[in-house]
């Protein structure tokens, strides 16, 4: 965080300052801001967030021992550190992020990119950050820090010399994207797609569309909306951009004209090759991140970066250095003998379909496709239908072994059986341990194995175990 006095900090979060011995209202703090006491260092700001299983107020002393200079709390605690008392520490975190970003923006050359979409946010964020890091100091979220806590914590990492802030905006409920994007008013808003992810929580696809469009409503007047030309729902956001006095930059692969597009896409086990054209200039790209669907994420990153002044060839050179977008996202494990693709950090109907299609595309003659599938979460009333669709798709793609894990995913197995996989091609296991023991004896040389589920299903750990066993 930038340097602030305790008085400035208290004003920013609308809190009551309670000074510790030796501090004054003009004492300056400016270290890391975090909710984890273990991460504190000299001058740090500890946010005592209450949690589901514990309470940050219990760790103020630990934070001080690690260097914290001030604690933001909802109630005073008995600790030898200055405290700022607020009604809600999460709201205070957002207020502080708004203040810090505004100060850096006013005094420096900070440009902000916000990214949202039903799938691909984290990959696109990582690809864009890799491009922008070559231009200047860039701040981007760690992992998937895209919620009401993670997004402000990322924003608070900006310094007076930061040139680019890349923010990823997820949504666990209605209004969250509007709140988070509203903290900073992005210069560039990127919308990747509107799909079924979280549709259960939002009440349907149209509600999801409304929530994702809030990023474009938050773009600064005169800013830029980077939109997916191939997604009809995303395309409707061009009208919102016009209302915001923002211009539109299109990316895509389909027939609709796009400022940044990909042609001649070829998918292999070593990545995806394509010809990228941006504003009439073309160049080849070998994206080593596995999966055809990541070409669209690369296009979105290139569209944003070139709009910020990065030449196309520089974008391509930096993207070609990326081997893995993020752990547990199309992560190659195992060996050439048995290749494990661990993509079990998240799953929606769209990402499940994309991962299965990638598995079918990369297999070579003599190799066998194996899909280890778990449940997709947050689909609400659409859950049964969408799990059925995945089972159907796996059969139609000709996946040779379908291994379904967990009671919540059982409908995938039943649908695969109904579609003709009744002779051992599809099997079901209630637990990961059972599936692991089966796969240890079932997998053979030449197998290409996809492990895919939502984070809550936990199959990423099964993927790791298989990767280690077949390394």
Q: pLDDT by residue (tens digit) across 261-320?
A: 999 999 988 899 999 999 999 999 999 999 899 999 999 999 999 999 999 999 999 999
- Same domain? 152 vs 56: no
Q: Do 314 and 341 sit in the same domain of this protein? A: no
Note the pLDDT of residue 433: 97
Q: Is 123 annotated as a binding residue?
A: yes
* In contact, 104 and 159? CB cutoff 8 Å: yes
Find out whether 441 is annotated in a ligand binding site: no
Is 121 labelled as part of a ligand binding site?
Answer: yes
The answer on 306 and 338 residing in a single domain is no
On whether both 48 and 172 belong to a single domain, the answer is no
Residue 396 lies in a domain: yes
Q: Is the dihedral of CA 267, 273, 276, 281 positive or negative?
A: negative
Whether 115 is in a domain gets the answer yes
Residue ending a domain, choose from 275, 295, 319:
319
Pair (125, 254) in one structural domain: yes
Residue 145 lies in a domain: yes
pLDDT at 380: 85
CA distance 78 to 88: 19
Q: Is 125 annotated for ligand binding?
A: no
Distance CA 394, CA 416 (A): 7
Output the domain CATH number for residue 463.
3.90.190.20
Q: Say whether pLDDT at 425 is over 80.
A: yes
Q: What pLDDT, on a 0 to 100 scale, did the predictor assign at position 421?
A: 72
pLDDT for res 101: 98
Q: Which of 319, 342, 364 is the last residue of a domain?
A: 319
Q: Is 117 annotated as a binding residue?
A: yes
Q: Does one domain contain both 354 and 255? A: no
Is there a binding annotation on residue 35? Answer: no
Final residue of a structural domain among 297, 319, 341: 319
**Helix, strand, coil percentages for the chain (3-state, nearest 5):** 40, 25, 40
Are 342 and 301 members of one domain?
A: no
pLDDT tens digits along 264-276: 999 988 899 999 9
Residue 99 lies in a domain: no
The pLDDT of 72-83, averaged and rounded, is 97
| CATH code of 311's domain | 3.40.1190.10
Q: Indicate the pTM of the whole model.
A: 0.88
Confirm whether 94 is domain-assigned: no
Q: Is 1 helix (H, G, I), strand (E, B) or coil?
A: coil
Q: Say if 140 falls within a structural domain.
A: yes
> Is 159 labelled a binding residue?
no
**What pLDDT shows up at residue 137?**
97
Q: Is residue 100 part of a domain?
A: no
Residues 285 and 337 in one domain: no
Q: What is the pLDDT of residue 174?
A: 85
Shared domain check, 53 and 13: yes
HSE-CB at 281 with a 13 A cutoff on CA atoms is 11
Q: For the residues 91-108, what does the mean pLDDT come to?
A: 96
Interval 21-37: pLDDT, tens:
999 999 999 999 999 99
Q: Are 176 and 103 in contact (CB under 8 A)?
A: no
Q: Say yes or no to pLDDT of 200 above 70.
A: no
Same domain, yes or no, for 260 and 355? no
Q: What is the span of the domain harbouring residue 47? A: 4-87
Q: Looking at residue 76, which CATH number applies to its domain? A: 3.40.1390.10
The pLDDT of residue 198 is above 60 = no
Asked whether residue 190 is assigned to any structural domain, the reply reads yes
Tally of domains in the chain:
3
Is the pLDDT score of 420 beyond 90?
no
Biggest distance spanned by C-alpha atoms of the chain: 76
In a shared domain, residues 124 and 36: no
127 and 149 in a common domain: yes
> Between helices 121-133 and 294-307, what is the axis angle to 10°?
40
């Amino acid at each position: 965080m930038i340097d602030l006095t305790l008085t400035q900090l208290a004003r920013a979060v609308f809190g009551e300052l309670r000074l510790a011995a030796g501090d004054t209202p003009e004492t300056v703090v400016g270290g890391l801001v975090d909710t984890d006491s273990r991460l504190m260092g000299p001058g740090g700001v500890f946010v005592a967030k209450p949690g589901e299983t514990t309470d940050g107020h219990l760790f103020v002393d630990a934070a001080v021992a690690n260097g914290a200079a001030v604690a933001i709390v909802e109630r005073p605690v008995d600790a030898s550190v200055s405290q700022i008392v607020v009604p809600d520490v999460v709201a205070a975190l957002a207020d502080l992020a708004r203040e810090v970003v505004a100060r850096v923006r006013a005094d420096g050359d900070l440009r902000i990119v916000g990214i949202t979409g039903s799938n691909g946010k984290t990959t696109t964020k990582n690809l864009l950050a890799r491009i922008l890091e070559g231009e200047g100091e860039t701040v981007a979220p760690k992992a998937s820090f895209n919620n009401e806590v993670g997004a402000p914590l990322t924003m608070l990492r900006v310094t007076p010399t930061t040139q680019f802030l890349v923010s990823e905006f997820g949504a666990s409920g209605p209004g969250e994207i509007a709140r988070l994007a509203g903290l900073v008013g992005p210069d560039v808003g990127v919308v990747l797609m509107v799909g079924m992810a979280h549709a259960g929580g939002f009440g349907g696809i149209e509600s999801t569309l409304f929530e994702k469009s809030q990023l474009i409503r938050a773009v600064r007047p005169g800013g830029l909306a980077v939109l997916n030309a191939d997604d009809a729902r995303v395309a409707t956001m061009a009208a919102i951009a016009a209302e915001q006095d923002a211009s539109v930059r299109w990316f895509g692969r389909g027939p609709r004209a796009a400022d940044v597009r990909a042609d001649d896409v070829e998918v292999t086990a070593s990545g995806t090759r394509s010809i990228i054209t941006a504003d009439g200039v073309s160049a080849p790209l070998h994206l080593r991140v596995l999966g055809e669907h990541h070409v669209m994420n690369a296009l979105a990153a290139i569209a944003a970066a070139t709009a910020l002044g990065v030449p196309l060839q520089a974008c391509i050179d930096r993207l070609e250095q990326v081997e893995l977008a993020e752990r547990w996202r199309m992560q190659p494990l195992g060996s050439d003998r048995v290749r494990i693709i661990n993509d079990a950090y998240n799953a929606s109907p769209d990402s499940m379909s994309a991962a299965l299609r990638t598995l079918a595309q990369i297999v070579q003659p003599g190799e066998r496709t194996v899909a280890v599938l778990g449940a997709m979460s947050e689909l609400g009333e659409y859950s049964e239908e969408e799990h059925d669709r995945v089972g159907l798709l796996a059969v139609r793609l000709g996946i040779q072994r379908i291994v379904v894990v967990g009671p919540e995913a059982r409908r995938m197995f039943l649908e695969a059986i109904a579609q003709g996989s009744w002779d051992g091609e599809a099997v079901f296991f209630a637990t990961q341990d059972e599936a692991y023991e089966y796969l240890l004896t079932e997998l053979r040389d030449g197998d290409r194995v996809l492990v895919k589920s939502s984070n809550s299903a936990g199959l990423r750990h099964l993927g790791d175990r298989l990767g280690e066993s077949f390394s």
